[in-house]
A and B are shown apart, each in its own frame.
Chain A
Amino acid sequence: MDDEPLICLPGQRLCLCDKTYTSGQGTYERQGYIYSQLAGYVDIVEKDGVKIVEVHSSGEQTVVPAQGDIVTAQISIITQAYAKCFIKCVGDTVLRRPFRAIIRKEDVRATEKDRVEIYKSFRPGDIVLGRVLPITEAHVYQLTTAENELGVVIAHSERGHPMVPISWTEMQCSKTFIKEQRKVAKVLPEKISKDFMQSSK
């Protein structure tokens, strides 16, 4: 932050809403003006010649997972048809309260969908990267891991030791060298994964 940030409060009128300025995140439009929704600082992003007025909350933001977001989830229960999990992070933001979600058998991987078996893909306790699917049912989020970059990122073997990925379907225990099957995510270096996260928005 080089110059003083412009602080605003909820309900504060920021500017006229016209062809050059549009209302973005953390703001709303009413009767031709842009107002702030949050207590935070103003940020103006230029995109295709239009200035998008955004307000960023100073503390952690109140986020709920939205369609297309990359989320980090922990598997809680597996059945033959689906795996239940809790969403712990949305993008880089850690949630204070986890949200329930499920990964259906059809959404585990992109190829050979009919031969997927949940227990060969996830186990309870695994940490999974997934993408939020459009909400069809009222109360539960659906995730997909049918992309190379999505799937299990952290897992422990049956003995409780951390495992390392050895192929896109297998992980190996670091102590006992026992191999277990998982839908493994291709973990990208941080720089690329950031771009990847951004592109997904």
Chain B
Amino acid sequence: MAEQYKSLHPVKYYRDYLSHNIRPDGRVFDTFRPVILNTGSIDTADGSALSKLGQTTVVCGIKAELCKPKAESPNKGFVVPNLDLPPLCSPKFRPGPPSDQAQVLSQLINDIIENSQCIDLTDLCIFPDKLAWCLYIDFICLDFDGSVVDACIIALVGALKTVKLPFVDYDAALDNIQVNLENTRPLPVHSIPVSTTFAIFDDKIILADPTVEEENLCTGIIVIVLKDDELCCVHKPGGSPLSSDELLGCIEKSKKKVPLMRDLLKTALQDVG
């Protein structure tokens, strides 16, 4: 009978649970779901990682290609992140061009990469004004169960850490490129961004790491990205207003996640060796 009730009266179903200070999946308001990170499993990509946040699954693959730097910034390479929410991951999505949601999230991830400065674009330059690396960072959501950005950022850092770029010998006089596959170097990752999503339910209850059901029913969503102990991005697209105390509370809660993520990354990368 509970299932019918949930289908017909989802909001009331949630309110009943939340009034007892518990969520339908058994978590209390500010617990996160377990995280799994697996790195370097796709060898056609130059760097790859798969992250799981509860049921939410995102795979990130990085492909490096060569290109000419822009004239206005001759000593910088490129980073091109794109998030794909294919119809495979949820019945909500249809085949065709990216949905609005995918576009917004792609842009958000782009901003996070830029703001956190985890990649220094000058590291990607091979020869000023002539040759640079372009990193295509593709995220594919395999299972859409809420807090996708959090999973993306975990996968991003995991994938970046496994990137190995081959050594390129560029002869400017002859415009000749020679790539040496035996000699590779890892990509320097300058900081570790950690993202945390919160859902605001009924204008007052704040749920950390919401599932897709919670995201659908809530009245607002807020994404907070921290870099070490600094704030690097806050994304709150409309929704319920939030008092400054509540906002600070969210930031405080997301701070707890930073050391957890650092440990996770350490263990995940140790496995690869």
Question: Closest chain A residue to B9 by CB distance?
Answer: A154
- Report the Cα distance A95→B13, complex, angstroms: 17
In the complex, A152 has a CB within 8 A of chain B: no
B19 within 8 Å of A (CB atoms): no
Instruction: Give the A interface residue count (CB, 8 A).
Output: 11
B8 contacts A88, C-beta separation under 8 Å: yes
Which residues of the partner chain A approach B7 to less than 8 Å between Cβ atoms? 88-89, 94-95
In the bound complex, residues from chain B placing their C-beta under 8 Å from that of A96 are: 91
Neighbouring B residues of A72 by C-beta, 8 Å: 4, 8
Q: Which residues from B are CB-within-8-Å of A48?
A: none
Number of A-B contacts (CB under 8 A): 19
Interface residue total, chain B, C-beta cutoff 8 A: 7
A83 contacts partner chain B, Cβ-Cβ < 8 Å: no
Say whether A53 faces chain B, with CB atoms less than 8 Å apart.
no
CB distance from B273 to the nearest CB of A (A): 40
In the complex, whether A74 has a CB less than 8 A from a CB of chain B is yes
Q: Which residues of B contact A92 (CB under 8 A)?
A: 4
Minimal beta-carbon separation of B268 from chain A (angstroms): 32
Residues on A with C-beta less than 8 A from B8 are: 72, 74, 88-89, 127, 154
Residue A97 CB within 8 A of the other chain: yes
B87 to chain A, nearest CB (A): 13
Contact with A along B1-27 (1 / 0, CB 8 A): 001101111000000000000000000
User: Are B3 and A94 within 8 A (Cβ)?
Assistant: yes
Smallest CB gap from B12: residue in A: A162
> Which B residues are in CB contact (< 8 Å) with A94?
3-4, 6-7
Within 8 A of A (CB), among B88-112: 91
Shortest distance from the beta carbon of A184 to any chain B beta carbon, whole Å: 17
Q: Which of A86-109 contact B (CB under 8 A)?
A: 88-89, 92, 94-97
B10 vs chain A, min Cβ distance (A): 11
Cα distance A92–B3 in the bound complex, in angstroms: 9
Asked if A89 and B91 sit within 8 Å, CB to CB, the answer is no
> B residues 61-83 with Cβ under 8 Å of A?
none
Q: Which residue of B lies closest to A96 (CB)?
A: B91
Minimum C-beta distance from B216 to chain A (A): 14
Q: How far is the CB of A63 from chain B (nearest CB, A)?
A: 14
Which A residues are CB-close (under 8 A) to B91? 96-97
B9 contact set on A, CB distance < 8 A: 154
Expressed in whole angstroms, the Cα–Cα distance for A74 and B9 within the complex equals 10
Q: How far is the CA of A95 from the CA of B4 in the complex (A)?
A: 9
Taking the closest CB of chain B, its distance from the CB of A129, in whole angstroms, is 11
Please give me the residue from chain B that is nearest to A92 by CB atom: B4
How many Å lie between the Cα of A96 and that of B90 in the bound state?
A: 11
A97 CA to B9 CA, complexed, in Å = 15
> Could you say which residues of chain B place their CB within 8 Å of the CB of A95?
7
CB proximity of A187 to chain B, nearest CB, Å: 14
Q: Which residues of chain B are within 8 angstroms of A89 by Cβ–Cβ distance?
A: 4, 7-8
| Alpha-carbon distance A154/B7, docked complex (angstroms) | 13
For window 47-106 of chain A, which residues contact chain B by CB distance below 8 Å?
A: 72, 74, 88-89, 92, 94-97
How far in angstroms is the closest Cβ of chain B from A20?
Answer: 37
Instruction: Tell me the A137-170 residues at the B interface (CB within 8 Å).
Output: 154
Please give the distance in Å from A88's CB to the nearest CB on chain B.
5
Please name 19 pairs of A and B residues whose Cβ atoms are closer than 8 Å in the assembled complex, sorted by A. A72-B4, A72-B8, A74-B8, A88-B7, A88-B8, A89-B4, A89-B7, A89-B8, A92-B4, A94-B3, A94-B4, A94-B6, A94-B7, A95-B7, A96-B91, A97-B91, A127-B8, A154-B8, A154-B9
Task: Using CB atoms and an 8 Å cutoff, list the residues of chain B in contact with chain A.
Answer: 3-4, 6-9, 91
Other than A72-B4, A88-B7, A89-B4, give 6 A-B pairs with Cβ distance below 8 A: A72-B8, A74-B8, A89-B7, A94-B7, A127-B8, A154-B9
